[in-house]
Amino acid sequence: MRKGVDLIMAFGIAIAVWQMIVWLTGVPHFILPDPVRVWQAFISNFELLYDHAQITFAEVLAGLLIGSLLGMMTALHLMISPAARRLLLPVLVFSQAVPVFALAPILTLWLGYGIWSKIVMAVLIIYFPVTSNFYDGLRRTDPGLLDLAKTMGATEMTILLRLRVPAALPSLGSGLRLAAVYAPIGAVIGEWVGSSHGLGYLMLLASGRAKIDLMFASLFVLAIFTVILHALVGRFAKRLTDWSG
């Protein structure tokens, strides 16, 4: 309850500051529209925003799901296989030196203007945080607990599934929370590079036509979606690890 009140207060203050800046600087509305104008743009373009938002949300959710699953599977594989650690780990680390944004044009070239290039973009951007967080968690199981398991006659597989994986869930939760914030960035960058749908496309379109109020409205829809997605993923992660306090 307190948190909700704080959130509304913070939001209210931000809107007020924004309005103050517009008043005090007298900046023209095609450079920085005031909150009321953005709200009007949101209402009058609701259907348009809704259509484009659906596409972006689908891309983000698909990217989040696929990227998280791939990341989790990679982390488990790295844990099980020494060969994977030797061969895959250096490649994974090196791949982080390649700016994912720079891949967007190539993905559009390969996968076209449809949603798949954006989904893959979101997958690429979240794959590493999920993998590395989960893998770190899997490796950091209490060595005492592992010793105990060995004296109990546990096999490597039951140690992995019944000790390492549950012990790593808080780390996985951190990775998933990061992924919830990064996935929309990936999808929107994909849309900027080449698309005919989605909030990123709508932003570019609105900007090109000097409809800055519509651009801001799109931005807010995206921001609110990201905040809600982050909160939902956070709640899911917390449920996974209600024991960790």
Q: Which is nearer to other proteins, 150 or 209 (CB)?
A: 150
Mapped onto helix, strand or coil, the DSSP state of residue 7 is helix
Among 94, 153, 208, 239, binds other proteins (CB under 8 A): 153
Report residue 47 CA to chain centroid gap: 25
Q: For the CB of residue 80, give the shortest distance to other proteins in the complex, in Å.
A: 17
Q: Is 160 in the site for other proteins (CB under 8 A)?
A: no
Q: For the CB of residue 136, give the shortest distance to other proteins in the complex, in Å.
A: 18
Q: Which is nearer to other proteins, 1 or 157 (CB)?
A: 157
Backbone angles phi, psi at 29, to 5 degrees: -70, -15
Among 32, 48, 111, 159, binds other proteins (CB under 8 A): 159
Shortest CA distance to 76 belongs to which of 124, 138, 151? 138
Among 14, 148, 210, 227, binds other proteins (CB under 8 A): 148
Among 29, 139, 140, 150, binds other proteins (CB under 8 A): 150
Cα gap 128→74, rounded to integer Å: 10
Tell me the window of 41-49, 116-124, 151-159, 191-199 that interacts with other proteins (CB under 8 A): 151-159
Site for other proteins, residues 88 to 107, rule: CB under 8 A: none
Cα gap 90→77, rounded to integer Å: 14
Q: Is 245 in the site for other proteins (CB under 8 A)?
A: yes
In order of 23, 80, 170, 204, the CA distances from 208 in angstroms are: 25, 51, 44, 6
Q: For the CB of residue 140, give the shortest distance to other proteins in the complex, in Å.
A: 14
Q: Is 51 in the site for other proteins (CB under 8 A)?
A: no
In order of 123, 125, 151, the CA distances from 130 in angstroms are: 10, 10, 32
Contact between 167 and 141 (Cβ < 8 Å): yes
Among 27, 98, 140, 147, binds other proteins (CB under 8 A): 147
Site for other proteins, residues 161 to 180, rule: CB under 8 A: 162-163, 166-167, 169
Q: Is 142 in the site for other proteins (CB under 8 A)?
A: yes
Q: What sections of the chain are H helices per DSSP? A: 2-25, 35-44, 46-80, 82-95, 100-111, 115-139, 143-151, 156-159, 165-193, 199-208, 212-240
Q: Which is nearer to other proteins, 15 or 240 (CB)?
A: 240
Cα gap 202→229, rounded to integer Å: 21
Q: For the CB of residue 147, give the shortest distance to other proteins in the complex, in Å.
A: 5
Contact residues: other proteins, CB under 8 A: 142, 144-145, 147-155, 158-159, 162-163, 166-167, 169, 241, 243-245
